[in-house]
Amino acid sequence: MSEVVEDGDPEFKSKTERKREFKQYQALARKLLTMPDAQLDQMPISESLADRLRAARKLSKSALQRELRFLGKHVSESDPQTIEAAINRIEHAHDLNTFAFKRLESWRDRLIDDDEAATTDEILTAFVDADRQQIRQLARNARRERERSQAPKSARALFRYLASL
């Protein structure tokens, strides 16, 4: 006789939900499969799973499909949320670097355009260890270079100084 399972049971998952979860685990395994070895070593996965992923790269298409099902099972047994977070961190690292670069550029431009910008709270809180006098001097020199149509040597130096902080 089959056992009747209540729908209100928090542990109960329909077959469709289990399939959907398993497909997500396979997708994670596929992403791990395409990563270079250096990034794969940074992942929070077991060494045996990492070895299986490296070996799966050499398989034919049909064998790879079977192996992906197996790898999906192993991903589900480890911590899939942690693995997904690590993958997202690696995939979006470039976006974060671009954002930081653009923010530094905007601060540099604001410092060059406005002599009083070096004393604004936003810049002082962002750069606690900053030497205000050096920032002002570099900004003044950059302003002079811009007015004289010279190479932006001081603007570059200001950017490097802000980046070092």
Task: Summarize pLDDT for 47-72 with one digit per residue, the tens.
Answer: 999 999 999 999 998 999 999 999 99
The fold of the 95-164 domain, in CATH, is: Diphtheria Toxin Repressor; domain 2 (1.10.60)
List, for residues 129-163, the tens digit of each pLDDT value: 878 888 888 988 999 999 999 889 989 998 888 88
* 80 Cβ neighbours under 8 A, 6+ residues apart: 24, 25, 28
CA 82 to chain centroid: 14
Q: Is the pLDDT assigned to residue 6 strictly greater than 80?
A: no
Q: What is the model's pTM?
A: 0.55
Please list, in sequence order, all residues whose beta carbon lies within 8 angstroms of the beta carbon of residue 73, skipping any fewer than 6 positions away. Answer: 22, 25
Domain boundary assignment for the chain? 15-87, 95-164
Correct CATH for 15-87 of 1.10.287, 1.10.8, 1.10.60, 1.20.120? 1.10.60
| pLDDT level of residue 1 (50, 70, 90 thresholds) | very low
